[in-house]
Amino acid sequence: MKKLALLLLLAGALMAKDYTKADRIKDMQIMAEAMSQIQTGIFYNNNDIVQDGALKLSDAVRRVEPPLEEREEKDPMTRYMNEKVKFSHKTTKKIDQKAKIILERFKNGDAQQAIQAYTKIMKQCMECHSQLRTW
């Protein structure tokens, strides 16, 4: 079980090799823009704007990877112990799932549920920032 977890971590590190700080900042800016777009769409009750924003958010959050120094930590046990890589993957996955909820709920006229998912995304953004931004 432990071996499998380590293998998965190493595979993830290999796949994420080319994701730079500049890439991450760009995706963060796209996500911030997508979030205001979703909010605008909700306020104006415009489904097209909400859908477009939620898709943009999903698209960007799937690319996000934690800072390089964390992924390149040589000692796999240290990486496993500090869990930050795992944490960030969990966070981005949650954001992606909530974006899908916004898409579905708003389309079906359930603005309340869409707003709730939106708020949860905000919380995930801020949680990751307080954990990772000051590395």
**What is the binding site for ligand HEC (CB under 6 A)?**
21, 24-25, 28-29, 31-32, 35, 64, 66-67, 88, 91-92, 95, 121, 124-125, 128-129, 132-133
Least distance from C-beta 37 to ligand HEC, angstroms? 11
Min dist CB 3 to ligand HEC, Å, is 26
Tell me how far apart the alpha carbons of residues 65 and 23 are, in angstroms, rounded to a whole number: 9
Which of residues 8 and 109 has its CB atom nearest to ligand HEC in the complex?
A: 8
CA 79 – CA 32 distance, rounded (Å): 29
Taking the complex as a whole, the smallest distance from the CB of residue 84 to ligand HEC amounts, in Å, to 9
Q: Which is nearer to ligand HEC, 2 or 102 (CB)?
A: 102
Residue whose CB is less far from ligand HEC, 102 or 105: 102
Long-range residue pairs from 80-83, CB within 8 A, at least 24 positions apart, any chain: 80/5, 80/6, 80/9
Cα–Cα distance, 56 to 27 (Å, whole number): 10
**Virtual torsion, Cα 83, 58, 101, 119, nearest 10 deg:** 70
Closer CB to ligand HEC, residue 6 or residue 16? 16
